[in-house]
Amino acid sequence: MSTLHHRDDIATAIELTLTDAFDGRIVNICDDAATTIYELVRFVGEDMDKSSEPMRDLWYPHADGS
């Protein structure tokens, strides 16, 4: 799977969630390719200032899909 298709899939899932297409259901979407916070913010039509500050906990809130 290419990175482009992965990002499209995540963007589609977020769009479906925000438009109530899942009809109140809980849907778990998991993959081993990490999505950055900057990408997630863009998926919902926003922008975020970038920072060079180190993250205190690199794995928070990284989801474990196992």
More confident residue, 32 or 3: 32
Per-residue pLDDT tens digits for 10-66? 788 888 888 888 888 887 777 666 677 788 888 888 988 888 888 787 776 666 666
Prediction pTM value: 0.42
Nearest CA to 31 among 14, 10, 59, 8? 10
Say if residue 54 is preceded by a cis peptide, omega within 30 of 0.
Answer: no
Sequence-distant (6+) residues with CB within 8 A of 17 are 27
Supply the pLDDT for residue 65: 67
